[in-house]
């Protein structure tokens, strides 16, 4: 009997390991060479009406990061469904309302970004042997890391070319990886859906956080997302791209962990 139980446990462990490896193999990882960068370089946002908005960005500081990997694309519905099937979890119901209270009755489509809560994103990341990127890692990668060309947005100075935003999205998010990538080959870090990161939103305590591989404050009421979504405008009244628009990598958005709507997805990271 003991031998039978031991055999069963070994088989179960092998199944879990194989499942995890199987999922890892399906993640397109991009290597990001670490370095020092200026986080929160642009501390103002200009609205389409020309208003100046303050206090909506990551802290302005010099940050040092180790090497890491980050997923090339936002995690898709298909990938998340595989996670649910492998772990015996239930695939969540798709949102029936948009972030603005409009009835939309979304249906899950395999190639679309998964509209996940923070906890779901975090559990998926752990399942594949990774984690959610920190805000600093996300921003560094979005700006191109050591390959940066100094663009205002992730991959260019015209957000319409690199992301699904108000002017080109047809009022919804889109399948991952359809537009231009940034300098590292990462897609959709401008627009489409905002992406959960690891950090708590607690700006009063940002100054207490280490500047080497910062992970954010240890507590807070909200979690941070980056990249913003398809909903927001990116042009001024005369049709020119906003030089300092809300889709810049510096911008941070905060929401409760349990938020699920058409504005929140995620990508994952892992340490080298």
Is the per-residue pLDDT at 22 higher than 50? no
pLDDT at 4 over 80: no
The whole-number pLDDT of residue 25 equals 53
pLDDT value of residue 2: 55
pLDDT, mean of residues 237-241: 91
What does pLDDT average to over the chain? 92
The stretch 204-227 carries a mean pLDDT of 97
The pLDDT assigned to 100 comes to 79
pLDDT digits over 41-66, tens only?
Answer: 999 999 999 999 999 999 999 999 99
pLDDT for residue 199: 98
The model's confidence at residue 13, banded by pLDDT at 50, 70 and 90, is very low
Minimum mean pLDDT range among 1-5, 29-33, 64-68, 106-110: 1-5
What is the band of 102 on the pLDDT scale with cuts at 50, 70, 90?
Answer: confident
Residue 95 φ/ψ region, left for φ over 0, alpha for ψ in the -120 to 50 degree band, beta for the rest: beta
pLDDT at 7 (0 to 100): 44
Which pLDDT band, with edges at 50, 70 and 90, does 109 fall under? very high
| pLDDT exceeds cutoff 50 at 19 | no
- Does residue 150 have a pLDDT over 60? yes
Cβ atoms within 10 Å of 13's Cβ, excluding its own: 10
Segment 105-131 mean pLDDT: 97
**pLDDT of the residue at 101:** 84
């Amino acid at each position: 009997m003991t031998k039978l139980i031991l055999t069963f446990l070994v088989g179960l462990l092998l199944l879990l390991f194989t499942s995890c490896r199987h999922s890892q193999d399906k993640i397109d990882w991009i290597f990001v060479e670490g370095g020092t960068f200026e986080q929160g370089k642009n501390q103002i946002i200009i609205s389409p009406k020309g208003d100046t908005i303050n206090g909506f960005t990551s802290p302005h500081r010099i940050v040092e990061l180790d090497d890491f990997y980050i997923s090339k694309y936002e995690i898709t519905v298909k990938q998340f469904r595989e996670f649910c099937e492998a772990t015996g979890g239930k695939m969540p119901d798709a949102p029936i309302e948009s972030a603005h209270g409009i009835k939309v009755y979304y249906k899950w489509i395999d190639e679309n970004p998964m509209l996940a809560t923070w906890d779901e994103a975090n559990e998926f990341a752990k399942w594949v042997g990774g984690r959610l990127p920190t805000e600093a890692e996300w921003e560094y990668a979005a700006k191109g890391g050591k390959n940066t060309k100094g663009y205002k947005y992730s991959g260019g100075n015209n957000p319409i070319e690199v992301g699904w935003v108000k002017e080109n999205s047809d009022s919804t998010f889109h399948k991952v990886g359809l537009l231009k990538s940034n300098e590292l080959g990462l897609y959709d870090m401008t627009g489409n859906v905002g992406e959960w990161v690891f950090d708590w939103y607690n700006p009063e305590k940002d100054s207490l956080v280490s500047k080497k591989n910062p992970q954010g404050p240890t507590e807070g009421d909200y979690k941070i997302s980056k990249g913003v979504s398809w909903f927001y405008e990116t042009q001024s009244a005369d049709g020119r791209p906003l030089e300092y628009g809300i889709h810049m990598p510096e911008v941070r958005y905060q929401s409760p962990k349990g938020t699920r709507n058409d504005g929140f997805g995620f990508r994952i990271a892992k340490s080298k």
